[in-house]
Amino acid sequence: MTLGVNFTPPPNPIMVNLDSTKLIVGGEVINNFNKDLFRFSSDKNSNNEKLTDKAILSSTPVHGLKSIVIDNFNNKLQLELSAKILGNNYPKGLNINTITQAIDTINKSGIVSIDKYKFFDAAEILRCDVTDNIKPEVSGEIIYKTLAALPIAKKYHVDYFNTKSNQGVVWKGNQKTVRDRQIFYNKILEVQRDKLLKGNTSILKDFKGVIRVESNHSQLKQLNKFFGSRKLIEVLNSDVKLNHDIFSRITTKSNDVDLRLFSQFEGMKFGEIRNYIGDKGIIDMCNNDWEKIQLFVRVYNPNNYKGRHGYMNKIKALYNQLNTETKQVDLTLITHIKELLAA
């Protein structure tokens, strides 16, 4: 079945899955819309000429439909939605097999009527989250602690979080051009925070034991670089394993790691040695528990806790280094995750 000129799913696609996604398309895809559900906004210049003319959805009665903006001035339609719009198919994500369901759901809502054929031919992505659901052999809190301590490329910063409702690791790139951002987190904990999903036994069952791997893309040049296009259907038809590729870049340093104990003071200045011993003392005092280390620093150094030049970045680097040197990091996990993301 073909839903548009370019909408022809391959026989056995290696599917790209999206979650939160913002799309733009020409206004000609709109058949009609319920004006009572929209608020209207416009601006004019000193010559009384229109600069903007928009209809903005006042509220979103459809779970997973975040916003609709009809830009009459530029003849554009913007949609922002997440895979939650798929209901029980939410765990599958927005992909080549489910995107039709998402648009059908919007059409059935009575908010706006969209010509699917025109939409799939022309819709482009403004920003999106590319997702994979994996079930590693190792699970639970230990996997996030291990991921947080992996030796990573210098151009990335890592944050580890572990609370009753939130568990995971985030890597942020500090590249000057296209910056990577990738997160591994406990998906079922997130679902349980959603009032409309936490009682859905089908979705909870599908997400049991799942680690959600997600990369966030808000730069247009990111999408063009990774997929060669911003067109929705071309991205969904792509065989690019983006999360695998990003994770490989983040952990590239691990390929050259020497896990033997090293002579830590070689080539260091005295001031650096003092800092090293002090930081190592804090880590040892907290029994190598990252949460306790964070709490200690937050209490005794609140004015320089986080941020680009904050103390946590410095002590985190040593924490990762010490874990690597004492063989507390299982580097086989990197290979295992790469295999899961490439599957």
pLDDT value for 277: 84
Separation CA 125–CA 123 (nearest Å): 7
pLDDT (mean) for 120-143: 90
pLDDT at 275: 84
Q: 231 in helix, strand or coil?
A: strand
Q: What is the mean pLDDT of residues 90-104?
A: 96
Q: Taking the complete model, does pTM exceed 0.95, yes or no?
A: no
Name the DSSP letter for residue 210: P
Q: What pLDDT is attached to residue 63?
A: 95
Coil, strand or helix at 236: helix
**pLDDT value of position 309:** 63
Model confidence pLDDT, tens digit, residues 159-179: 888 888 889 999 998 877 777
- pLDDT at residue 324, as a whole number: 57
Q: Which of 118-122, 139-143, 279-283 has the highest mean pLDDT?
A: 118-122
Q: How confident is the model at residue 265 (pLDDT cuts 50, 70, 90)?
A: low
pLDDT band at 279 (very low <50, low <70, confident <90, very high): confident
Instruction: Give me the pLDDT at residue 9, please.
Output: 44
CA dist 126 → 21, 95, 172, 223, 257 (Å)? 8, 16, 20, 9, 38
Interhelix angle 311-325/270-285, rounded to 10 degrees, is 80
* Residues whose CB is less than 8 angstroms from the CB of residue 263 and which lie 6 or more positions away in sequence, other chains included: none
CB atoms under 10 Å from CB of 116, counted, come to 17
Phi, psi values for residue 261, rounded to 5° = -60, 140
Task: Provide, rounded to the nearest whole percent, the portion of the chain with pLDDT above 70.
Answer: 87
Residue 315: its pLDDT value, please?
84
Q: What pLDDT, on a 0 to 100 scale, did the predictor assign at position 104?
A: 97
pLDDT at 264: 52
Angle in degrees, 0-180, between the axes of helices 332-342 and 242-250, rounded to the nearest 10: 160
CA atoms of 120 and 99, how far apart (whole Å) = 9
Q: Look at residue 343 in the predicted model and tell me its pLDDT.
A: 81
Alpha helices (H) along the chain = 99-108, 116-122, 141-148, 187-192, 201-207, 220-227, 232-236, 242-250, 270-285, 290-300, 311-325, 332-342
CA 253 to CA 233: how far, in whole Å? 35
User: What number is the average pLDDT over the span 240-265?
Assistant: 70
Neighbours of 122 (CB within 10 A): 18
Helix (H, G, I), strand (E, B) or coil at 268: coil
> Does pLDDT of 123 surpass 90?
yes
Q: Higher model confidence: residue 183 or residue 279?
A: 183
Give the C-alpha distances (Å, rounded to integers) separating 131 from 66, 91, 99, 138, 314: 18, 10, 15, 20, 30
Read off the pLDDT band of 256 (50, 70, 90). Answer: low
Listed range (5-14, 101-110, 283-292) with the worst mean pLDDT: 5-14
State residue 6's pLDDT score.
46
**Between 335 and 309, residue with greater pLDDT:** 335
Share the mean pLDDT of the chain. Answer: 85
Q: What are phi and psi of 263, to 5 degrees?
A: -80, 95
pLDDT reported for residue 48: 80
3-state DSSP of 79-142: EEECHHHHHHHHHHCECCCCHHHHHHHHHHCCCEEECHHHHHHHCEEEEEEEEEEECCCCCCHH
Mean pLDDT across the stretch 254-270? 54
Q: What is the predicted pLDDT for the residue at 91?
A: 95
pLDDT band at 52 (very low <50, low <70, confident <90, very high): confident
> Mean pLDDT, to the nearest integer, of 105-121?
96
Contact (CB, 8 A) for 333 and 147: yes
Residue 186 Ramachandran class (φ > 0 left, ψ -120 to 50 alpha, else beta) = beta
pLDDT tens for residues 80-89? 999 999 999 9
Residue pair 130/223 in contact by the 8 Å Cβ criterion: no
Say whether 44 sits in a helix, a strand or coil: strand
Decide if 215 contacts 130 (C-beta within 8 A): yes
